[in-house]
Amino acid sequence: MTDNEILKIRECVEKRKVILSDGTKVSALGQGTWYMGENPGKKDEEINSLRLGLDLGMNLIDTAEMYGDGLSEELVSKVIEGRREEAFLVSKVYPHNVGMSSISRACENSLKRLRTDYLDLYLLHWRGRIPFEETIDGMEKLKKEGKILRWGVSNLDIDDMEELYSKSNGDNCDVNEVLYHLGSRGIEYDLLPWQRARNIPTIAYCPLAQAGSLKKDLLRNETLNEIARAHDVKPLQIALAWTIREKDIISIPKASSSKHVIENAKAASIFLSSSELERLDKVFQKPNRRMPLDIV
């Protein structure tokens, strides 16, 4: 890609922002890293893809200590080398590591692997047995120490979020990262409205669905394909644009090739009309009852 082509796409990406509670603006299109760093033969391509994503304005990079037992964090360290201030760095901590005696050590280990001295956002990966009070205290301690700037959660349903919010400093939770895509809209029934009432943004993981039959169903859907043809883009770009149609959702697709990174970034320039959204609602219906939270 030429510098002008990169700049043109970046300008579109940078127009789509989500505002966090402290006023920080983050790109609505970020980058996921699940399974990255695990295959030595793919590392160079993965690093180059994530760097290209930064070039294109997709500044949020989401990783976790669980991903490849730290290999993903190590790979991300190479991506952000010399570019730390460009990136909004997110990592996630195992549920068994969020006690007061272990969360500092877990965070320090992530910081060492990432070769940085702070995280922009630190998330509880999913709920475990450690009480929320202890997790919150640990997160707040890390904030005071400057090791993290913000904290949040992942894979928490509305009951968990209500309990978290009832605890002292629980309302300092900045985001909830959950699975969300056209084929999985359960959070729209109660969790998403609850978070919106409290100005808690959502990070959508697996925004293009997992590989397998569900993704194939998306790709084969005639309505999705018709809308894609009308915009002269690919069906999955429409699916990705759909996830960021509101201003409080950050979508983190994974792309391990430059081609897919560019396609993802170009989704920022796609705005779906009300009639197109209605057509998608007919084939990918909104939930009319409470549904269990999808987790992978």
Q: Which residues are annotated as a binding site?
A: 125
Strands 249-251 and 88-93 turn out to be unpaired
Q: List the structure tokens of 7.
A: 């700049």
Residue numbering of the annotated binding site for substrate: 125
Q: List the structure tokens of 50.
A: 């994530």
Contacts of 111 (CB under 8 A, 6+ apart): 117, 118, 119, 147
Q: What is the per-residue burial (b if ≥16 Cβ within 10 Å, else e) of 140-166?
A: eebbeeebbbbbbbbbbbbebbeebee
Kindly write down the DSSP assignment for every residue of 153-175, as one continuous string: EES--HHHHHHHHHSTTGGG---
In contact, 132 and 163? CB cutoff 8 Å: yes
Catalytic-residue membership of 94: no
Strands 121-124 and 151-154 turn out to be parallel
How far CA 189 is from CA of 26, 90, 195, 286, in Å, comes to 25, 27, 11, 8
Strands 17-19 and 25-27 turn out to be antiparallel
- Choosing from 67, 122, 180, 205, the catalytic residue is 67
Active-site residues, by number, are: 67
